[in-house]
């Protein structure tokens, strides 16, 4: 398996990582989590997602037209669906067990770098980039990529989660 595009200078953190308090994640800043499990999306899941969001772009829903007009001859998984899967995959890599619930504060620098088609396997590659105590919360930043089996990154993003200081 190619691991192109990832900096492996720092050790990999075995997953799932369990910590009692979010601030304990500071010991893992700069280290990559072990790659997550492989996941894929079906055309039925795409159809349900676009029905919910109203995104009826034919490249996601019309398999016959995609077969005629798209280079890979397949529909394309909506980028927003891929982005929506990141929190679930990140929670499989890292869990704060002490009762603190993280809340997404920001999602930044989202890039859809390679098309994902129904049935294509992908997994999360995540690295903590910042863990810092603030006056009312602990801020946890992570770089989150979705990697295809080819080693290509389908999606890259950065996210910030916050954990209230009362339970962190």
Number of structural domains, the chain?
1
| Domain-embedded: residue 49 | no
pLDDT at 8: 43
| Domain-embedded: residue 54 | no
| Domain-embedded: residue 57 | no
Q: What residues make up the domain containing 156?
A: 12-41+77-164
| Domain-embedded: residue 113 | yes
Distance CA 130, CA 161 (A): 10
pLDDT at 18: 87
| Domain-embedded: residue 61 | no
Q: Tokens for 110? A: 């989202």
| Domain-embedded: residue 51 | no
Q: Which H/E stretch holds residue 9?
A: none
Where does the pLDDT of residue 5 fall: very low under 50, low under 70, confident under 90, or very high at 90 and above? very low
Which regions of 9-152 does DSSP assign to beta strands (E)? 12-13, 17-19, 32-33, 94-96, 103-112, 122-133, 137-148
Residue 150: how many other CB atoms lie within 10 Å: 14
| Domain-embedded: residue 65 | no
Q: Global pTM? A: 0.85
Q: Is the pLDDT of residue 57 over 90?
A: yes
Tell me the percentage of the chain whose pLDDT exceeds 90: 73
CATH no. for residue 90? 3.10.129.10
pLDDT at 143: 97
| Domain-embedded: residue 58 | no
């Amino acid at each position: 398996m190619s691991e192109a595009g990832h900096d492996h200078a720092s050790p990999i953190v075995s997953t799932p990582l369990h910590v009692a308090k979010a601030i304990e994640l500071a010991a893992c800043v700069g280290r990559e989590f072990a790659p997550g499990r492989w996941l894929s999306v079906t055309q039925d899941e795409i159809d349900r997602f676009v029905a919910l969001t109203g995104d009826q772009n034919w490249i996601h829903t019309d398999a016959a037209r995609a077969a005629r007009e798209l280079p890979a001859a397949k529909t394309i998984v909506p980028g927003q669906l891929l982005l929506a899967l990141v929190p679930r995959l990140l929670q499989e890599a890292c869990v704060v067990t002490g009762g603190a619930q993280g809340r997404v504060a920001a999602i930044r620098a989202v890039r859809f770098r390679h098309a994902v088609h129904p049935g294509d396997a992908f997994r999360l590659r995540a690295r903590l980039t910042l863990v810092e105590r603030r006056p009312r919360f602990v801020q946890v930043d992570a770089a989150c990529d979705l990697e295809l089996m080819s080693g290509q990154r389908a999606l890259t993003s950065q996210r910030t989660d916050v954990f209230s200081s009362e339970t962190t």
